[in-house]
């Protein structure tokens, strides 16, 4: 079987950077290295990190109080998703060494929101209100933030005034963002629109089209079943009309189904480690 792997498959630079920061501390003997919520949404990788002394505390949303065994040797790392200013203040108050591994691309979005909020702007965020990145970004809106995902959500917004900006969670679909921005602009003519979908996400989305143009007959998308960006990639792959298999590990390959195709396009979410992608590609190529 011909296996074409997307160039962008696997860790994005922001996730890789956060993992490297945590690993660097662990490698220097800092123990435990705590992370405020799971460092990445991939259970196989989380198990490996745990073996290296990197321990997840708190919850996925980075909202619960942390009960840490304080030790001069331990350190607390903030994930690539980032956190709100209130959460940062709380984590710093815990009296434990603190390292911010927020992805710089998320930092840019936070900066735009903060700058405009200080000038009195209201912020509309295209994203999932329950995603930790959006929870963190909301903290910069000075209480004037509204997460939306659809036209219906926009229709239900309160009166926003004429000082409004619109940004996006970094991992959303580009086409949807621009379509919703146009819809909101019809209601708020002075709307300032900032396309803050990150380059890594755009590359992943673009590579689905590239694989499609290469004539693959099906897609295999690798990543955690709870990973939001992997689920979005699978959705985008399905939108091409080709059969799409979202799997977490090599063991989930449906060989009988896959054997129908002569060529398969493989991509993976931003939190999928290389070793899982290699295992899937090798197995598919051997079929």
Judged by beta carbon, residue 11 or residue 25, the one nearer ligand SF4 is: 11
According to the binding rule CB under 6 A, does residue 200 interact with ligand SF4? yes
User: Which residues inside 6-35 make contact with ligand SF4, applying CB under 6 A?
Assistant: 12-15
Quick one: which segment of 52-60, 113-121, 198-206, 244-252 binds ligand SF4 (CB under 6 A)?
198-206
> Nearest CA to 270 among 2, 71, 41, 32?
41
According to the binding rule CB under 6 A, does residue 105 interact with ligand SF4? yes
Min dist CB 201 to ligand SF4, Å, is 5
Min dist CB 196 to ligand SF4, Å, is 9
User: Which residues inside 201-240 make contact with ligand SF4, applying CB under 6 A?
Assistant: 201
Check if 133 is active-site.
Answer: yes
According to the binding rule CB under 6 A, does residue 106 interact with ligand SF4? yes
Determine which residue in the list 33, 80, 218, 253 makes contact with ligand SF4, applying CB under 6 A. 80
Catalytic residue positions, numbered: 133
For ligand SF4, the binding residues (CB under 6 A) are 12-15, 80, 103, 105-106, 170-171, 198, 200-201, 270
């Amino acid at each position: 079987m011909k296996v074409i792997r997307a160039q962008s498959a696997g860790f994005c630079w922001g996730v890789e950077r956060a993992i490297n920061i945590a690993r660097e501390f662990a490698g220097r003997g800092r123990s435990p290295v705590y992370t405020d919520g799971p460092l990445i949404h991939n259970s196989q990788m989380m198990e490996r990190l745990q073996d290296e002394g990197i321990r997840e505390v708190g919850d996925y949303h980075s909202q619960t109080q942390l009960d840490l065994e304080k030790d001069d040797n331990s350190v607390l790392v903030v994930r690539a998703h980032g956190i709100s200013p209130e959460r940062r203040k709380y984590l710093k108050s815990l009296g434990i060494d603190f390292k911010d591994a927020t992805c710089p691309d998320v930092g840019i979005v936070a900066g735009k929101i903060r700058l405009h909020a200080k000038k009195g702007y209201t912020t509309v965020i295209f994203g999932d209100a329950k995603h930790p990145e959006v929870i963190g970004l909301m903290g910069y809106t000075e209480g004037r933030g509204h997460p939306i995902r659809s036209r219906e959500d926009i229709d239900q917004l309160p009166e926003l005034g004429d000082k409004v900006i619109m940004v996006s969670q970094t991992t959303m679909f580009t086409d949807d963002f621009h379509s919703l921005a146009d819809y909101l602009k019809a209601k708020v003519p002075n709307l300032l629109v900032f396309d803050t979908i990150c380059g890594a996400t755009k590359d992943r989305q673009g590579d689905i089209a590239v694989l499609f143009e290469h004539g693959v007959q099906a897609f295999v998308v690798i990543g955690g079943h709870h990973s939001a960006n992997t689920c979005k990639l699978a959705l985008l792959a399905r939108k091409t009309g080709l059969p799409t298999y979202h799997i977490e590990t090599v063991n989930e390959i449906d060989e009988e189904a896959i054997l129908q195709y002569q060529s398969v396009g493989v991509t993976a979410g931003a939190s999928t480690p290389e070793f899982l992608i290699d295992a899937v590609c090798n197995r598919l190529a051997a079929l």
